[in-house]
Each structure stands twice: as C-alpha cells, then as structure tokens.
Chain A
Amino acid sequence: MTHPSDAGPAPVLALKDISKSFGAVRALRDVSLELFPGEVHALAGENGAGKSTLIKTLAGVHRPDAGQVLLDGEPVVFHGPGDARDAGIAVIYQEPTLFPDLSIAENIFMGRQPRKALGRIDHKATHAATAALMQRLGVELDPDRPARGLSIADQQIVEIAKALSFEARVLIMDEPTAALTGSEVARLFGVVRTLREQGAAVLFISHRLEEIFQICRRVTTLRDGAWISSELLDGMTEDDLVRRMVGRDLDELYPKQDVEAGDVALSVRRLTREGVFTDVSFDVRRGEIVGLAGLVGAGRTEVARAVFGIDRWDAGEVELDGKKLTNGAPSVAMASGLALVPEDRRAQGLVMDMSIERNIGLTGLRTTVKAGLMDRGAERSRSLDWAVKLQVKYARIADTVNTLSGGNQQKVVLAKWLATGPKVLIVDEPTRGIDVGTKAEVHRLLSELAADGVAVLMISSDLPEILGMADRVLVMHEGRLTAEIPRSEATEESVMAAATGRAAA
C-alpha cells in the first residue's frame, strides 16, 4: 500500500501531508493524495472518515492547518472557493443548486454572459457556447430549456458543463450517483469517461462499491481522518476495500450485557412511505437492542420518523405492545410509551434557548400538571432527578441548554425521554459528535435500559457501535431492509456488504 510512483504524466493536483482540525476534532491527519490527468480516482471511507473535509480543502472552502496543496507541482494557497475555481478545480455536489427559472445556458454563464455593444447580453453567443459544451460532453440538452423540471441527473450535467466552461481540469464529484437511477448512472459514467479521455482528472466519491470498481483506476482510503492507502483497484476485491475502510478493534467502549429477549414491544409491518422507504417490517423485543445500520440516505432516519409519527406513512402499520399507533401522531406514540431521541439534537432534540429544566419538562407537559396548572415543583424535581441520574454537567438547572457541551446536550435529550418511562426507545445516531467518554456512558445507559426491559432500536452510522451494542443488526439499503444479521454473525464486512447492496441476505 504505497503511493504508486507512476512514470509518465505528473499529477495535476496533489495533497501532501494535509491536516485539519475543528476545535478538538482532528478531521484530517497527514493525508496525501495525487490526481493525474486522464484518471478517475476514488475516495473511499466510512461516514465521518474525513472525505467531506478533504473535498472542501481541495475546493478552497477550508484551509489546511498543515501540509501543502500542489497544483502542477507548485504549492498553492486557496483563500476561498473562487481561487480553487480559477485554478481549474470544480466540485459537483450530490444535489446541484441551479436557478430554476433561468435557462440552462443562463445558468452556465450566470454573471459572465457574452456581451454585445452597450453591455447587452448576447443570447445567440450564450446559446452557441452552451451547445458546444453539450456536444463536448456528448449529451443532448436544449440550452434554452429552463432548469426547472430537469432531473437531478440533468442538473448534474449542467453543473459539469458549467465546470468545463471555467476550463476545469479537476472535477470532484461528491456522491453524484446517490440520487440517480441505473440508466442515469450509466449516462453519467459515459460523460465521466469522455472527460477522462479529454485529459481531466476526476475525484469520485460513492458509497456504492461496485461503481468505484466500474469507473475508477485508483482508490485512496481514509479512516478516522487518517490516510490508509492509495492503490490501483486492479486486483483488489470489494472485501479488500471494505476492510481498509473499516477494520478497528472493539473494546470496553461497548459494555453490552446479555439479556434474555422478552415479548415483542415494537412491531413494524410492511411500512412504506412512497419514494422514501418501502415494505419495511421488523420487531423489537423487550430487553433487546436492535441496531439499524445502513449508509446515510438509506432511509433509516425516515423509518424512525414515521414510526414516531413525525412523518406520515402511506401503507403498513406500527404496533406498540399490540396496540396500533395512529399515523402521523407523535403525541399518541408518546402516550403509548414510545420515545425518539432524534438525530439532530440542536434542531430536533432540544429547544436551545430554553433551560435544562424546561427542556426535560417538555415531555412531561401532560403529567406534571395539577388542577390544570403546571406543577413547577414536580417539574423541577423530575428534571433534576434525571439530570443527576445521567450525570449532566451544568452550573444551574435554569441555564439554557446552549451553554452545555454537545455530550451534555445529548444527555439532556436522553433525560427528557427517559423521564417519560418509555417501553420502546428509538435512538438515532445517539453518540454522533460526542467525546469518547460520554459515548461509553451513553452505551452503558442503553445497555442498562435494555436490561430493565426496554426495547431499544439504535440507528447508527458508526459500525463498531452497531457491532458492539446490538443483539441483532437490521440493514437498510436504498429504502429497503436488505438484511437481518444476528450478533454472532455480524461483522463489519457482512454489514457493509448489505448496506452497499452487494449481498441481499
């Protein structure tokens, strides 16, 4: 696993020992990468491995703390996205942002349209230039068509054409295929091959391993912000790649107790929300921790939202302790004993401007009431009880939650829901963005809750967390449950295989 010192062309763009930290988080550590002209290069890694930070560093959004960016062998410093663009680097995002009411040609030449005398826009020249770009890409799109109504695939083509109009030599494609259908992917790959033949360097990011093998020549793997390898894909297997992406030892970070599973507490039957997830069925028993794994966008969070009633489902049903839940009614789900710790604690889990006391109190508005009025004594003692039980570190219980650290905020969200005495607890990314110590505390708490007979459904993109905590692992891929793996058989490879849609178990 060394850098191949390719004889022949020099790299058009190279990163040398790049490091970047955000506060205490080291997003990138000594990462190196070389992009050659006429090459499609894959960037692989789990969620949170540092791929986005790397892209943003290349695009001039972030400035590295250490290390060099080399353009044609010369060190450069990008002071902003504009500098990167002028250097010929363009990023195509998963969901392009075009002006819907402008034509394709106007979108591409926004702000720099060819001019005629008196500064009037030369529509003919704009049209012709756009048609030429489309021809270069081998795509048929009418330059005068408004952007509104274009498929995401077509919008990406427009973005690529725009990049070419800036004479881009390096194209970074951040999960461009995530929202595309099979035939759209094929057409996009056709365009990518055309670009490659014209000498462009392409950095390609995708969670779909088969795509990486299909279109890329080399791959660079990141894990936890560190560079793992850069190598030719020729001769590698998908399993090899998965092992580079994951591969970590489990330790006492996961204090899982063995608990005999009891009766079914949560039963989800053929749940479907059109265009989001399809035909999802599973049970969670008392005392069980069931992990729900999958890639971002696989539909895990969406299933949790629907079960709790935030979004409506189109078909299927949800039963809690044998009682059907009402579609789209969180208050009913709550009253039946369901709790959801949502993925975004700042926007969904907490009212940031409210005190710790009142945030925990929000789930008790029905219970801490006396003669129609809030029982403030009961509210305070309920909040204090749980804040203390979960060892939230705060100065005063009346302080607003935005004065707390992320880990302590997450504990307040947990406290708020545990105070309802739930029968079923759904936690969505329960330890994202919190420090290792608090993470272990949260895991211990989940384990204890299961031991007390709570049914726990844990959504996580942190594979070791899933493997370390779950009795059973459900895996979703593109809106469907693709696998159910018992603890004994769950490995990073088997879960990743199902999550990337390689093997439907």
Chain B
Amino acid sequence: MPESLERASRWSDAVRWDTIVGALLIVVLLLSFGTVDGFGNALNLSFLIGNTLPIALIALPMTLLVVSGEIDLSVASTAGLSGAVMGYLWNQGMTIEVIIPICLVLGVVCGLINGLLVTRLGLPSLAVTIGTLAAYRGIAQIVLGSDAVTDFPTQYLDFAAGRIGDTFVPQAFVPFLVLLVIAVIVLHATAFGRATFAIGASEEAARFAGIRVKRQKLILFTVTGLMASLTGIFWALHYASARYDNATGLELSVIAAVLLGGIDFDGGKGTLGGAIAGVFLLGALQNVMSLQDVSAQSQIVVTGVLLVLSVLGPRVAKQIAVARAQRLTS
C-alpha cells in the first residue's frame, strides 16, 4: 500500500463516521441549549429522552440485525400489536403481571416468524418484514378495534412516565442503560458479535468458517421481536394509552437513526455507540423542531432526508478520503 494511501486509511480510522455523529450530537445539544427557548429546562429534557427511548430500545437489536446484513421493518407493528394485546387482556380482567410476560412471548413469536421466513425459506428480510409490518398491525386492529385502553395500574404508569427524584432523567432510562451495556458487550466483545460482523461482511465466508449463520440470524430476529414488544409495553404505559396504532412509523425513525449512526446498510460495519449517538441526534432534532413549532409532517420529511443522507454520508466521506489519497500520490 502506498504511504499516502496508508496515511488516508489511518486518517479515516481515527475520524470514523460514528465519531463524527457523536460530535455532531454534542454540537446540536450545545447549540440547542444556547439558542432554543425552552430546550434546557428539566421537563423538556425528560420529554426528549422519554420520547427517544422507544427508538433507542429497538435500535439496540436493530443495530445487530443490520450489522448481520438483515433488517426488520415490522418492529413498530410488533410494538403496536404488543400494546393492543396488553390493552385487550387488561380489559378482559387479567392482571398486568400476567399480561406483560404474555406480550413478551408474543414478541418472541413475531420475531421468530420473521426469522424463520428469512432463514428457512431464504426470502429477503426487506420483503418479509414489509409483509409482517402490515400483518402484525392488522392483527392489532382486529384485537383492539378502535378502543384506547388507558386505565393501567398507576404504579406502572408512574414508572414509565416518571423521573428519578428531582433530575430530568426518566426512570426508564436506567433499565435502558443496562440493556445498552449488554448489547455493546454482545456485539463488540463476544464471539457472537464477532460472528455477526463476519456474516454481514461475507455470509459465505462465515459459513465456510463454521459459523452457524442461520441459527445466528434466527436468534437476532427473535431478540428483535422481543425488544419490539417490550417497547410496545413501554409505549402504552409511557403515554398511558394502548391503541392499535401505537408506534406507527417508528421503524422509519429506528432505521434512520441506526444508519445515521454509521451502521452500513450492506452489513458488516458499524458500532453500537455510533447507532445510539444517531438515535439521540435524531431525537434531539425532533425535539427542537417541536419546540420551534415545526409540523409533524415536516418532521417526517426531515427524518426521511436524514435517512438518505446517512446512507450517502459515509460513502461520500470514503470517496473524499480516496480522492485525497490519490491526489497525494500523483
């Protein structure tokens, strides 16, 4: 490798996309504190984190899934279905302590269905999960109709919406941190994570190295379903409303955030740190837009544009690095 090329690759090693996103997050936060009225108060900050938590929770398994070269677009529908079943069973008079495990099992089943369709039938996950996106949401509507269930036990509602003492930090942020640590360890420090990267970078080479590709993908889809249903439960309690259309469109935010955080859509590249920085960058931008009275529709446009930019960004950055290196050599 010519020296200048090596220098460029070292340069790009040091200034990685996920670092850029992390820095960008800090810049956006500092600017918002300084220039946006009402951003810095404790209530708004707790709103910001609380509203971003559903995205962040699903982003954890989604990061691993995208690193392995797959995707799950049905997560928001799984979350909605989970909330709808929770509301339905609550109306039937079951206790919440029984309902929550049932909903989590339901999430596992939803994920398992996606995983089996992808691994056993060899279907592309993009197509499979567009299908289950519609199917799971449809079932949610059949289960709960147009009802809204709001009368969940107060201690659960309080936990999901409450803050730690006098701080702006939501109570639910603590379990999220625990899950984040687990996810970071799994992806970046275990053999499972190493195999996930290998599968995403070259599924065939992974198979020839004795990695059980199908089993690994099935596990990832199943965990994604589980986390999506957990998010659905949190959503219904946090907003004190279980409706069939809960979390509609959330998959767009999750995937936009994950890609924004530098997870390569083609698999095999990225870090969880970057993905979570992407999640909170997106969350902060949405919060600021709300404070500035930007309409919800316009916010979706911004999310969509960010999605495109985040796929484009790392490639352009790489091309610039390569072009620089070539200019240096010539």
Q: B-contacting residues of A (Cβ < 8 Å)?
A: 308, 310, 330-331, 333-335, 340, 342, 347-354, 358, 361-363, 365-366, 369, 372-374, 395, 399, 403, 416
Known contacts A354-B201, A362-B198: A342-B191 contact under CB 8 Å? no
A348 touches B212 (CB 8 A): no
**CB closest residue in chain B, given A366:** B191
Minimal beta-carbon separation of A467 from chain B (angstroms): 28
In the complex, given contacts A362-B195, A366-B191, what are 15 additional A-B residue pairs having Cβ atoms less than 8 angstroms apart?
A308-B208, A331-B212, A342-B208, A347-B204, A349-B205, A354-B201, A358-B198, A363-B209, A365-B194, A369-B190, A369-B191, A373-B189, A374-B190, A374-B194, A395-B1
Q: How large is the interface on B (under 10, 10 to 19, 20 to 34, 35 or more residues)?
A: 20 to 34
27 A-B pairs with CB atoms under 8 Å apart are A310-B208, A331-B211, A333-B210, A347-B204, A348-B204, A348-B205, A350-B205, A351-B198, A351-B202, A351-B205, A351-B268, A352-B201, A352-B202, A354-B197, A354-B198, A358-B194, A362-B198, A362-B205, A362-B211, A365-B191, A365-B211, A366-B191, A369-B190, A369-B191, A372-B190, A373-B189, A403-B1
**Residues from 206 to 246 in B contacting A, C-beta threshold 8 Å:** 206-212
B210 touches A334 (CB 8 A): yes
Minimal beta-carbon separation of A309 from chain B (angstroms): 8
B269 at the interface (CB under 8 A from A): yes
A330 touches B202 (CB 8 A): no
**CB closest residue in chain A, given B188:** A374
For the complex of A and B, the 9 pairs showing the least CB-CB separation, nearest first, are: A365-B191, A334-B210, A362-B209, A330-B210, A351-B202, A348-B208, A331-B210, A351-B201, A351-B205
B179 at the interface (CB under 8 A from A): no
Complex: A461 Cα to B258 Cα, angstroms: 47
Cross-chain contact of A340 among B190, B191, B197, B208 (Cβ < 8 A): B208
B328 at the interface (CB under 8 A from A): no
Known contacts A354-B197, A365-B195, A374-B191: A347-B205 contact under CB 8 Å? yes
B6 at the interface (CB under 8 A from A): yes
Minimal beta-carbon separation of B182 from chain A (angstroms): 12
B308 at the interface (CB under 8 A from A): no
Minimal beta-carbon separation of A330 from chain B (angstroms): 5
Across-interface contacts of B6 in A (CB, < 8 A): 395
Minimal beta-carbon separation of B185 from chain A (angstroms): 7
Complex: A333 Cα to B212 Cα, angstroms: 12
**CB closest residue in chain A, given B195:** A365
Across-interface contacts of B189 in A (CB, < 8 A): 373-374
Across-interface contacts of A372 in B (CB, < 8 A): 190
Across-interface contacts of A354 in B (CB, < 8 A): 197-198, 201
Across-interface contacts of B190 in A (CB, < 8 A): 369, 372-374
Across-interface contacts of B208 in A (CB, < 8 A): 308, 310, 330, 340, 342, 348-349
Complex: A287 Cα to B195 Cα, angstroms: 33
**Residues from 155 to 200 in B contacting A, C-beta threshold 8 Å:** 185, 189-191, 193-195, 197-198
Indicate with 1 or 0, residue by residue over B266-279, a CB within 8 angstroms of chain A CB atoms.
00110000000000
Across-interface contacts of A334 in B (CB, < 8 A): 210
Across-interface contacts of A350 in B (CB, < 8 A): 202, 205
Minimal beta-carbon separation of A251 from chain B (angstroms): 33
Complex: A338 Cα to B197 Cα, angstroms: 24
Most chain-A CB neighbours within 10 Å: which of B6, B189, B207? Answer: B207
Across-interface contacts of A333 in B (CB, < 8 A): 210
A353 touches B194 (CB 8 A): no
Across-interface contacts of A374 in B (CB, < 8 A): 189-191, 193-194
Known contacts A351-B201, A353-B201: A361-B210 contact under CB 8 Å? no
Minimal beta-carbon separation of B152 from chain A (angstroms): 37
**CB closest residue in chain A, given B10:** A396
Across-interface contacts of B205 in A (CB, < 8 A): 347-351, 362
Most chain-A CB neighbours within 10 Å: which of B190, B194, B201, B208? Answer: B208
Across-interface contacts of A369 in B (CB, < 8 A): 190-191
Complex: A331 Cα to B189 Cα, angstroms: 21
Across-interface contacts of A310 in B (CB, < 8 A): 207-208
Across-interface contacts of B202 in A (CB, < 8 A): 347, 350-353
Complex: A333 Cα to B210 Cα, angstroms: 8
Minimal beta-carbon separation of B24 from chain A (angstroms): 25
Minimal beta-carbon separation of B10 from chain A (angstroms): 10
**CB closest residue in chain A, given B192:** A365
**CB closest residue in chain A, given B1:** A403
Complex: A492 Cα to B197 Cα, angstroms: 45
**CB closest residue in chain A, given B205:** A351
**CB closest residue in chain B, given A403:** B1
Complex: A347 Cα to B211 Cα, angstroms: 15
**CB closest residue in chain A, given B264:** A353
Minimal beta-carbon separation of B166 from chain A (angstroms): 38
Across-interface contacts of B211 in A (CB, < 8 A): 331, 362, 365
Minimal beta-carbon separation of A433 from chain B (angstroms): 17
**CB closest residue in chain A, given B193:** A374
